[in-house]
Structure 1
Amino acid sequence: MDDLKNKFWAIGGGKGGVGKSIMSLMLGTSLSRQGKKVILVDADLGGSNLHTLTGIRYPMHTLADFINREVEYISDVIIDTPIDNMRLICGADDILGIANPKYTQKTRIFNALKKLDADYIILDLGAGTSFTSVDFFLYASNKIVVLTPEVTSIQNAYGFIKAALYRRLNNAFKEYPECVELVKRASASVKNDHIDSVEKLKAALSSIGEDHEKTLTAVLDELNIN
Structure 2
Amino acid sequence: MAPTLPLALLLALLAPGLGVAGPGCDYPAHLWCSSREIAVACQAESRCANVSHPAAAPVELSLFYESLCPACRWFLVQQLFTAWLLLPSEALTITLVPYGNAEEKNVSGKWQFQCQHGPEECLGNMIETCLMHEAKNFSTYFPVIFCLESGSSVTKNLEAQCLQVYAPQLDGGRIAACVQGDTGVELMHRNAQLTQALDPPHQYVPWILINGKHTDQLEEEAQASLVGLICRLYQVGQGAQEGGGTRPRPQGCCCA
What is the TM-score normalised by the length of structure 2? Answer: 0.24
Larger radius of gyration: 2
